[in-house]
Amino acid sequence: MNVRRELDSLVTQMHSSGMGYEEAVREFKKQYLREVLVAHRGNQCKAAEEMGMHRNTLSRTMADLGLHLAEVRATLKRPPRSERPVYSAVRQVYRRG
């Protein structure tokens, strides 16, 4: 897989579809941030660190782009049942008394 070739193809498609420069840059930023956030399971601190920016800058950029953490987290899959903590059983023990 040649990332450079894929990027060239994407830029060609964006240009030929009439997408303007500002819109193309905005869409790239939004998709890139979403990808890094998903890789860090929505953890803004870790995502910002990977990208070499402060967490507040990441948060501000997300707001400027209309990228909400809730929509990022909604795309994350739940871990398999075997890896989830068993809180319901613990709660039942405390309720009984």
Sorted by where each begins, the domain ranges of the chain are 3-96
CATH code, 3-96: 1.10.10
Q: Which two tokens stand for residue 91?
A: 């709660």
From residue 10, alpha-carbon distances to 15, 30, 48, 58 in Å are 9, 15, 26, 25
Q: What is the pLDDT along the chain (97 residues), one digit of tens a residue?
A: 688 999 999 999 999 999 999 999 999 999 999 999 999 999 999 999 999 999 999 999 999 999 999 988 888 866 667 776 666 555 555 556 5
What's the whole-model pTM score?
A: 0.72
Query: What are the residue ranges of helices labelled H in the chain?
Result: 3-16, 21-39, 44-51, 55-65, 69-74, 87-96
Q: In the prediction, which pLDDT does 87 show?
A: 63
Q: What pLDDT is recorded for position 73?
A: 86
pLDDT at residue number 49: 97
